[in-house]
Amino acid sequence: MQEIISRLEELFAEGKINRVLGWKKGDLPYNPEPAYFESAEALKDFVYDGFCGANLSKYFIQGSAFEGVTAILLKPCDTYSFNQLIKEHRVDREKAYIIGVGCKGKLNVEAIKAMGIKGITDIKGAEIDGDCKELTVETLYGDKIVAYKDAMLERCHVCKGKEHMVYDELLLESADTLDGDRFAGVEAIEAMSPEEKFEFFRKELSKCIRCNACRNVCPACSCRKCVFDSNKFDSEQKANVDPFNESMFHIIRAFHVAGRCTDCGECSRVCPQGIPLHLFNRKFIKDINEYYGDFIAGENAEEKGPLTNFTLDDMEASERR
């Protein structure tokens, strides 16, 4: 981590950057927050460790409005989102100095808590300079050892790879974290009967509190005014009045980012009710790959997306599997 700070200090000193968009130390061992650092001195609060899961790409929509150049720290998977935002002209590439930082998998404190671990006072082993194999969780009720892998976010188990798609320079080593099948969850649902599918989604979606965190954190959801914030129609955007509202919201949310979603996994990370929202997005990704050829959103900033494109002999809707 010191390597990043030293490099940023250099960039400040050389006058190449006006500010940094990175992560700031939290007051608990696991809650760093996205933050702007306006000077080299401010970097004393900078942190980059296993808990810096937040994708900073979306913050750069706001960052693009600031004067001068902002150094932005992006993990490999974040760069897909950034590319996508460049493609959609939502961020200003000229104003960004992208530092691609290595990633050894990002952690999910909810996963640690789900193991029954309470009263966390300190977590050791999440440092990016370490080997990221084991966490020592100190709690008010004694110390616990947790395998790093078991505390990782779902998205890291199905990592897209540790290569940065867009950057000005790279820092720090990455470690491979892929150990799962990205579409296994989708396939398991596809294999169910319509009744079972309906039951499954009803159970998950009935937890939804309509906080819109999944939408607001999503780098692909960058509309100035969301269709769900419109008062032109009476479907509710902030209340779970009827089960239909939840289904509609989540289907449309995923549809609006279909072909643009990079599967960065932020929606599932932030859901306060732990709804596996990626299952919606991945279904679209899987269908797009199967029906229209493999496509990875954000791999570059030029290629047309699958829903803004067509071929003369696309399959008919009735031929869907």
Number of residues binding to another protein, judged by CB under 8 A: 93
Contact set for another protein, span 57-116 (CB under 8 A):
59, 62, 114, 116
Instruction: Rank residues 170 and 189 by Cβ distance to another protein and give the closer one.
Output: 189
Q: Site mask, another protein, residues 175-214, x = CB under 8 A?
A: -----------x--xx-x-xxxxxxxx-xx-xx-xxxxx-
Among 265, 288, 297, 298, binds another protein (CB under 8 A): 288
Minimum CB distance to another protein, residue 256 (Å) = 8
Q: What is the 3-state secondary structure (H, E, C) of 117-181?
A: CCCEEEEECCECCCCCCEEEEEECCEEEEEEHHHHECHHHHCCCCCCCCCCCEEECCCCCCCCCC
Among 64, 247, 289, 300, binds another protein (CB under 8 A): 247
Minimum CB distance to another protein, residue 99 (Å) = 19
Among 41, 163, 273, 304, binds another protein (CB under 8 A): 273
Among 14, 94, 294, 320, binds another protein (CB under 8 A): 320
CA gap 262, 158 in Å, rounded: 13
CA gap 97, 120 in Å, rounded: 36
**Does residue 136 bind another protein (CB under 8 A)?**
no
What H or E segment, with its residue span, contains residue 73? Answer: strand 70-74
**Does residue 39 bind another protein (CB under 8 A)?**
no
Minimum CB distance to another protein, residue 14 (Å) = 25
**Does residue 142 bind another protein (CB under 8 A)?**
no
Instruction: Rank residues 165 and 221 by Cβ distance to another protein and give the closer one.
Output: 221
Span interacting with another protein, options 69-77, 89-97, 172-180, 226-234, rule CB under 8 A = 226-234
119: which 2 tokens?
């009263």
Contact between 106 and 50 (Cβ < 8 Å) = yes
Minimum CB distance to another protein, residue 81 (Å) = 14
Kindly provide the b/e burial profile for residues 6-25, where b requires at least 16 CB atoms within 10 angstroms of the residue's own CB: eebeebbeeeebbbbbbbbe
Half-sphere exposure of 140 (CA within 13 A, CB side): 3
CA gap 267, 54 in Å, rounded: 11
